[in-house]
Amino acid sequence: MTKQPDLRAIEQFLFLEARLMDEKRWDEWQALYVEDGEYWVPASRGQPDPLNHVSIMYEKSLLRAIRVKRYSHPNAQSLQPMPYSVHTVSNVMLDSYDEDAGILVVNSRFIMLEYRRDKIYTYGGAYSHKLVRDAGSFKIKMKKVDLVNCDSVLDSIQIYF
């Protein structure tokens, strides 16, 4: 890999992440995050932090491990029938690159369709990925999902955006 991050490689990484979620390869998805990596879906526009304001989801590795393990729990009523998803990622742009720290901030747009019990739920918004270079690829330090309707009434959300 050259020093300057290759946009194509970044895109492939985001597409991989989306694919792992759609194919429910949750252990591989988890492994894309660094140890203290964060996943955050704010509940309001421009929400400054996940600690002093409620979020739709704010999960570090422990909560992600619980959620992912729950996906295969035999008595998880709300996962019967299991929801399925398709994520589409586009408009990928490199917002910043800190060469010394090896940290990139990547902005993109997404649409997610979630299907469960004869119904399709549509979600869309912006992703902001803070990535760190890792062995020729990347790992996620922070994935922030700004839903276009983050402050709206929302149905049960059980799949990661």
Partner 1 sequence: MSYSTDELAAMIRDDSVNRAVYTDPEIFELEMKRIWGQAWIYVAHESQIPETGSYFTTTLARQPVLLVRQDERTFNLFFNRCAHKGSKVIEVESGASKVLRCGYHGWTYELGGHCKHVTGGDAAYNKLGIDKSSACMALQKVPSVASYRGFIFASLTPDAPDLGRWLGPTATSIDNMVDRSPEGRLEITGGALRYNHDSNWKFFVENLNDMMHAMIAHQSSAQTARFMGKKLFPEGTEQPTEIQLLSPFAENVDFFETMGIHAFDHGHSYSGGKTSIHAGYSGISGYEDAMEKAYGKERVAEIFSINRHNTVVYPCFTLKGAIQTIRVVKPVSVNQTVIESWTLRLVGAPDEMLQRSILYCNLINSSGNLVGPDDHEAYHRVQLGLGTDANDWVSMGRHMGTEEPNDEGGFSATGSSDMVFRSQFKAWKQYMTMSRNAGE
CA angle 84, 81, 86 (to 5 degrees): 5
Name the region of 42 (left: φ>0; alpha: ψ -120 to 50; beta: rest).
Answer: beta
Helix (H, G, I), strand (E, B) or coil at 28: helix
CA distance 57 to 42: 7
Are residues 14 and 106 in contact, defined by beta-carbon separation less than 8 angstroms?
yes
Binding test (CB under 8 A) with partner 1, winner from 13, 26, 29, 58: 58
Q: Is 152 in the site for partner 1 (CB under 8 A)?
A: yes
Q: Is 24 in the site for partner 1 (CB under 8 A)?
A: no
Q: Is 154 in the site for partner 1 (CB under 8 A)?
A: yes
Taking the CA atoms of 65, 134, 110 and 20 in sequence, report the sign of the dihedral they define. Answer: negative
Q: Are strands 33-42 and 103-116 parallel, antiparallel or unpaired?
A: unpaired
Q: Is 95 in the site for partner 1 (CB under 8 A)?
A: no
Are residues 110 and 90 in contact, defined by beta-carbon separation less than 8 angstroms?
yes
Cis peptide before 81, with omega less than 30 degrees from 0? yes
Task: Kindly tell me which of 25 and 69 has the beta carbon lying closer to partner 1.
Answer: 69
Q: Is 69 in the site for partner 1 (CB under 8 A)?
A: yes
From 20-28, 94-102, 128-136, 153-161, span contacting partner 1 (CB under 8 A): 153-161
Task: Kindly tell me which of 68 and 105 has the beta carbon lying closer to partner 1.
Answer: 68
Q: What is the nearest approach in angstroms of partner 1 to the Cβ of residue 94?
A: 28
Q: What is the nearest approach in angstroms of partner 1 to the Cβ of residue 140?
A: 18
Task: Kindly tell me which of 10 and 159 has the beta carbon lying closer to partner 1.
Answer: 159
Binding test (CB under 8 A) with partner 1, winner from 1, 31, 63, 93: 63
Q: Give the interface with partner 1 as residue ranges (CB under 8 A).
A: 41, 43-44, 47, 51-58, 62-63, 65-67, 69-70, 73, 75-79, 151-158
